[in-house]
Amino acid sequence: MTADELDRWRGVITDDELALLRAAGGHERIPISGRLALLVVDVTYDFTGDKGDDHVASVAKFRSSCGPYAWRAIPAIARLLAAARAAKLPTIYTRGARDARASASHPWSRAGKARTLRSRTPESLQRGSEFPSEIAPAPGDIVVEKTKASAFFGTPLDALLVDLGIDHVIIAGCTTSGCVRATVLDASYRNYGVTVVEEAVFDRTQTSHLVNLFDIDRKYGNVTPLAETLTAIESQP
C-alpha cells in the first residue's frame, strides 16, 4: 500500500496514524488475475430490508437490516453480477441456512432448485432469507447456505472453489464487519487472492463499514473500486 493509497483512508484513521503507517511501509497488492469467481455474501431481505424504507423503519421489519446502505450498494452488486455472467465466471451466493435439517443434507444447490431441497418456513422468515429481485440468483448460479459468519465454515465452498480451479475471489455483500470480513479472512488463510469491491459491500453503520474496509485493505486483500474490478472481469480470457 503506497502513500497515495493510504490517503484514501484519511478521515477513517487520524493523520498521526497515517504517518505511522507510511513509516512502516505498505503491503504488496494482489492483482485480480487467474481464475476468478464472484461471491455475493448474504444479500437477503434480512440485511437489506425493503427498498425505500428509512433505516429505522427497515429495522422495525428486519432487525438485522442495513437499510439505505444496502440499497445504495445493490446497483453496484447488480453490475458485478452482469459482468461476471457475461464473462462466464462462477457466481456463488451465500445466505443463512433456512432449515438446519435441510442444510445438513443439502448445504448447497443450484439456483432454481434450492426451494425443492428446503422445508417451508413461516412467510416472514421465508421472505427474510430471500434475495431481492435486483440481484437474485440466475439459473446455474450456486447458493451456499451457512450457519456461521464465514462462507467457508461448515460449508462445501472451499471444495467447490478447488474443484472449479479458482485462484481469486471477488467479494460483494454484507456485512462488512461481519460475514464479509470473516469470509475474507478465511479466503486469505486458504491462499486465495481476495478483492472486496468497495461500492458493493455494506454494513449497518458507516463506522464499522469504513474501519473494516481499511483493515481488509491493509492486511488481507484488496479493497478495489467497482470500475477497476469490472475492467479486470471484462479482460478475462
Is residue 41 a part of any domain in this protein?
yes
Task: State the residue range of the domain holding 148.
Answer: 34-234
Is residue 213 a part of any domain in this protein?
yes
Strands 168-174, 36-41: pairing is parallel
Question: Over 80: is that where the pLDDT of 100 sits?
Answer: no
Question: Over 80: is that where the pLDDT of 175 sits?
Answer: yes
Q: Phi and psi dihedrals of 41, rounded to 5?
A: -95, 110
Contact 141, 113 (CB under 8 A): no
Is residue 114 a part of any domain in this protein?
yes
Question: Over 80: is that where the pLDDT of 61 sits?
Answer: yes
Q: Could you tell me which residue, 236 or 5, shows the higher pLDDT? A: 236
User: Domain of 188: which CATH number?
Assistant: 3.40.50.850
Sheet with 222-224, strands from edge to edge, namely 108-110, 142-146, 91-96, 36-41, 168-174, 193-202, 222-224
Contact 70, 47 (CB under 8 A): yes
- CA pair distance 186, 52, nearest whole angstrom: 34
**Mean pLDDT, all residues of the chain:** 87
* Residue carrying the nine cell digits 487520524: 14
What is the total count of domains within the chain? Answer: 1
Mean pLDDT confidence for 146-163 = 96
Is residue 27 a part of any domain in this protein?
no
Mean pLDDT confidence for 3-29 = 77
Is residue 38 a part of any domain in this protein?
yes
Mean pLDDT confidence for 139-153 = 96
- CA pair distance 6, 22, nearest whole angstrom: 8
Is residue 75 a part of any domain in this protein?
yes
Is residue 111 a part of any domain in this protein?
yes
Question: Over 80: is that where the pLDDT of 119 sits?
Answer: no
Is residue 23 a part of any domain in this protein?
no
pLDDT at 115: 35
